[in-house]
Amino acid sequence: MKQLHEFEIKKMLRLADEARERAYAPYSGFRVGACLKTESGAYYLGCNIENAAFTPTCCAERTALFKAVYEGERDFEAIAIISDSLNPTAPCGVCRQALAEFCKPDMPVICADRDGVYVVRALSELLPMAFTSKDMEG
């Protein structure tokens, strides 16, 4: 896993925390923010956006990822996630799979609690045996 400088981790968590403030979470009250950094050095922010029907809800991580992909980005360096929880927040299963589509297995995933206390894991640790395009080969 690529090592990130402490300064970079703190910057990404600050940006993710700013994104968390934009969350639309009237049903759960659980706000999440994400900051996805590209290999080119750009940052893409996302927040969770809930829906009364729940299924159409989009997590912060996918919001950031989809924004970046829309802008043409395909190479990612790290992602930071912060929430209102007292525990470090990891991406949900759907977000892990979406990240696996575009990110290297050793990409750092920074999971923080609401106070910024964090742990760093490789994406492959969070989603072992990810389903990828190689699994679709004949």
> What residues act catalytically?
61
For residue 24, which amino acid is it?
Y
